[in-house]
Amino acid sequence: MTSLRARERLVQRLRESGIHDERVLAQIAGVPRHWFVDEALSIRAYEDTALPIGYGQTISQPWIVARMSEVLVAEGPRDRVLEVGTGSGYQTAILAGLFREVYSIERIRPLHDRARETLSRLGLRNVHLHHGDGLEGWPRAGGCSAMLLAAAVHHVPDQLRSQLKVGGRLVVPKITPHGQILVLIQRADEDHYPETDLGPVVFVRSRKGLE
C-alpha cells in the first residue's frame, strides 16, 4: 500500500458519501494521515474511521473532518480560523490549506507537543499552536471568520463566541438530551447566533483545564 493510492481511494469514498467541495477533497488527498497516528495504526490510517491517539482522545473520522471543513468554507472569506482541540493535528493540517491563518488550541500538553512536531514536518507556516484551555478562546487570534470545536459541548462559551466575526461560521458537536448533533452557528450580528442542525455525530466530550 502506498499512502498516495490509499489517499486517493479515501477521497473517492468521501466523494461517494456526500463530500463535494473539491478544495476540501484536495486537502484530504494531500495530507498524509498516517503521520498523525501511532506507527502501529498506520495501516489503518486511510480507513474512514476514528482512531485512538492516547489520553482518551481520537483522530476524527475523515468524513467528519471533511464535512466540518466544507461547512466552514462554504461561504464568506477564508482568512482566519480558530480550532479548539488540536488533537493529533490532522484537522489543523486540512484547515491550513483552506484558510490564510490557522490558530489551534490544545489542553493536553503531550498532544500539543506531538502535533507541533508533525505539523512542522509538513512545513506549514500559517499554523499557530497554543497549549491552553480552548473554551476560554485565544484573544491573540483576534476576530475569526471561522471556528471549529473538536469536542462536544452543551453550549459554546460567550468568550469563545465573541471571537467570531459578524458573518462568521462556527461548527461544533453539541450535546442535546437526545444525543450529539453537529451544529453550524452563524453570527448574524453582534447579538444573534442562529443555529442549523447538520445531523447526528459522536465526539469525545470537552473538558476544562490543562493536562
Residue 34 lies in a domain: no
What would the pLDDT profile of 33-58 be if each residue is shown by its tens digit?
999 999 999 999 999 999 999 999 99
Residue 185 lies in a domain: yes
Range of the domain at 109: 62-200
| Neighbour tally for 177: CB within 10 Å | 4
Q: Can you give the CATH number for the domain in which 125 is found? A: 3.40.50.150
Residue 73 lies in a domain: yes
State the DSSP H helix or E strand holding residue 102, giving kind and residue range, or none if neither.
strand 101-106
* DSSP 8-state code for residue 205: B
- The pLDDT score that the predictor gives to residue 190 is 84
What would the pLDDT profile of 157-182 be if each residue is shown by its tens digit?
998 999 999 999 999 999 999 999 99
- The amino acid occupying position 144 is C
Into how many domains does the chain fold?
1
Residue 31, CA atoms < 13 Å, CB-side half-sphere: 29
Active-site entry in 60, 88, 104, 145: 60
Residue with cell 509538513: 122
Higher per-residue pLDDT: 108 or 210: 108
Residues 88 and 114 sit within 8 Å (Cβ to Cβ): yes
- Per DSSP, the residues of 11-54 read HHHHHHTT---HHHHHHHHHS-GGGGS-GGGGGGTTSSS-EEEE
Higher per-residue pLDDT: 3 or 82: 82
Please give the Cα distance from 28 to 91 (Å, whole number): 10
Tell whether the model's pLDDT for residue 66 goes beyond 60.
yes
> Between β-strands 51-54 and 127-131, what pairing exists: parallel, antiparallel or unpaired?
unpaired
Residue 49 lies in a domain: no
- The pLDDT score that the predictor gives to residue 177 is 95
- Mean pLDDT score across all residues of the chain: 94
Which residue intervals of 60-199 are DSSP H helices?
A: 62-72, 90-96, 109-121, 158-161
pLDDT band at 140 (very low <50, low <70, confident <90, very high): confident
- The pLDDT score that the predictor gives to residue 201 is 96
pLDDT band at 75 (very low <50, low <70, confident <90, very high): confident
60 catalytically annotated = yes
Tell whether the model's pLDDT for residue 1 goes beyond 80.
no
What is the pTM for the complete model shown? 0.94
